[in-house]
Structure 1
Amino acid sequence: MSEAVYTKQDLMTMQAWPLERKIRESQASIREWYEHYGGKVFVSFSGGKDSTVLLDLVRGLYPDVPAAYADTGMEYPEIQDFVRSVPNVEWVQPVMPFHQIIEQYGYPVISKDVAKRIYYARKGSRWAINQLNGFNSDGSPSWYNQRYMKWRVLLDAPFLISEYCCGAMKTRPLHKYARQTGRAAIMGTMACESKRREGAFLQTGCNAYHIKEPACKPLSFWTEQDALLYLRMTGIPYASIYGEIVERGGKLVTTGAQRTGCMFCMFGLHLEKQPNRFQRMALTHPRQHDFCVNTLGCGKVLDYIGVPYQPLTDN
């Protein structure tokens, strides 16, 4: 593996920059990416607040850059309505619908890393079994892998578990679009969203040219507060599911959904305070909630891991 571009301290310094500087640095990364590929680029557009900021930055420099939206069929209706209102967006289809994924591969639960290890451990993979037991692949103890140990109980769960859905419904369709069009992706992910994304940024920086699927991630050193401030400062349209952007306790928050993504995804749900997003969905989108919990069977999964999904009551 090549030497990392940035350190953790570098990232923390960049995250503390004022928004005006972050905008300039992100624009510089976008220009470099655009020129490197001779304009053959596209924006990976989810319709969420972060990718809305990204699209505005890119098209502020290059108005004709197309966008691609992965139509998973599990997005909030308000997200889909917003995407339809944005010009020059190509809708790409999943490799497999969600109901087939959970039947053949399993439910997305806890996190991508945990779900992947449960899936392969059940198939007898030694590396996955070792990590769920807190060891490295060579059998030596690992403090890092001990974070997986408490989820060994999922090996006995009466349902399948995997991380397959993200790849089948978003990543692979967008990679296919990139190959078919010859365009290189610009993505709106941030390092603060996960350890996985933080590690990728530290290793390559914003513009990753020499990986299997090259990608520009010019918002990597931004935070959620930056995205909200940008939306409020510019006044550009964004999906109505978020509601208004207001200040509470010295921070910007949305009065509606805090995050969007796939409605039926259970990754990270166990970490959310009540009312969690499934409990809110029961009130705001009861039809989709019923389909998810009962028809798709997500209710039995959440029951097993002890996560509530029905709306809070006053009693």
Structure 2
Amino acid sequence: MQAWPLARKIQVTQTRIMEWYYHYGGNVAVSFSGGKDSTVLLDMARRAFPEIRAVFVDTGLEYPEIREFVKTVPNVVWLRPELAFPKVIERYGYPIVSKEVARRIYYARKGSAWAFQHLAGLNKDGTPSRFNERFMKWRFLLDAPFPISDYCCTVMKKQPIHRFTRQTGAMQIIGTMACESAIRQNSYLKNGCNAFHKKEPTSQPMSFWLEQDVLQYLQFTGIPYASGIYGQITEQKGKLVTTGAHRTGCMFCMFGAHLEKEPNRFQRMALTHPNQYDYCIHKLGCGAALDYIGVPYAA
């Protein structure tokens, strides 16, 4: 499906959106981050249903250019998390390395046997696990002088959306793609695009898209997107790329930063958003966390 031409992907995605919409009698909402993926999703949804609502969670961690772009989009409900980011990292911990690693560090520190075993490269029964070997090199984080967890996304983004869904009954349509992480790939393989059967049903109708499809859609349709942060879409070595940021998400998120080539997200932030950089690195203490895992951040 990932190898399908864009026209077929658009057709199948809009079909999945329509199935979701009619299944819930139109009481649905598009989870809209202001990023390029959710911008494409919202455009496809509104081509079929112009009145469909969008929901934006104003975490305070978005790039200012993203927030300004969201303000230009009509019929968007703004939500806020109950805890600000400084309180989240104080209570739960810093989001470093990956959600999977951070979750295991958090629970291992609380005495969970399964988390200790995974960090030792073992299965629950104590036998060696090729799957869990990837966690072994991060076992040193158990001794880190700061808290670590994967709860940031849950508290800052998921909980406000869940509250909105409980209050309104509006079932979410989300622009995540399987190519973004192993977790999302496994979720798609297990649930498909429209997970009607889940305890908290969700629709991910773009799961089989690739980033190239998103950029091609934006270029082909010419719809507005947050060009203030992404820049222009150009072609380099046969691939579409953005001249600005490649991914936006939360400005202070450290997940995956160790995999980036220099200049990484924080080194770029130092040049493009110096005030946010200073707050993140020095006032919030993210610099110390990055130092501990060997990620450079000075411009």
TM-score higher than 0.5: yes
Identity %: 65
Question: What's the counterpart of residue 130 of structure 2?
Answer: 143
Question: What's the counterpart of residue 49 of structure 1?
Answer: 36
Question: What's the counterpart of residue 297 of structure 1?
Answer: 285
User: In structure 2, how many angstroms separate the alpha carbons of the residues matched to 1:92 and 1:117?
Assistant: 29
User: In structure 2, how many angstroms separate the alpha carbons of the residues matched to 1:268 and 1:306?
Assistant: 12
Are 1:261 and 2:230 counterparts?
A: no
Paired residue type of 1:34? Y
Are 1:160 and 2:185 counterparts?
A: no
Question: What's the counterpart of residue 88 of structure 1?
Answer: 75
Partner residue of 1:279 out of 257, 261, 267:
267
Per-residue CA distance 1:50-91 (angstroms, 9 max, x = gap): 000000000000000101111110100000000011001111
Task: Tell me how far 1:275 sits from its aligned partner.
Answer: 0.2
User: In structure 2, how many angstroms separate the alpha carbons of the residues matched to 1:194 and 1:213?
Assistant: 21
TM-score (norm 2): 0.99
Question: What's the counterpart of residue 31 of structure 1?
Answer: 18
Runs of 4+ in structure 1 off by over 4 angstroms are none
RMSD: 0.6
Paired residue type of 1:294? H
User: In structure 1, how many angstroms separate the alpha carbons of the residues matched to 2:104 and 2:241?
Assistant: 34
Task: Tell me how far 1:232 sits from its aligned partner.
Answer: 0.3
Aligned counterparts, 1:1-315, within 5 A = 14-239=1-226, 240-311=228-299
Structure 1: unaligned runs, 5 residues or longer: 1-13
Paired residue type of 2:238? G
Structure 2: unaligned runs, 5 residues or longer: none
Paired residue type of 1:246? T
Which secondary structure state, in structure 2, belongs to the residue aligned with residue 17 of structure 1? Answer: coil
Aligned length: 298
Task: Tell me how far 1:95 sits from its aligned partner.
Answer: 2.6
Paired residue type of 2:166? R
User: In structure 2, how many angstroms separate the alpha carbons of the residues matched to 1:159 and 1:204?
Assistant: 36
Paired residue type of 2:205? P
Task: Tell me how far 1:104 sits from its aligned partner.
Answer: 1.3
User: In structure 1, how many angstroms separate the alpha carbons of the residues matched to 2:197 and 2:125?
Assistant: 29
Which secondary structure state, in structure 1, belongs to the residue aligned with residue 252 of structure 2? Answer: coil
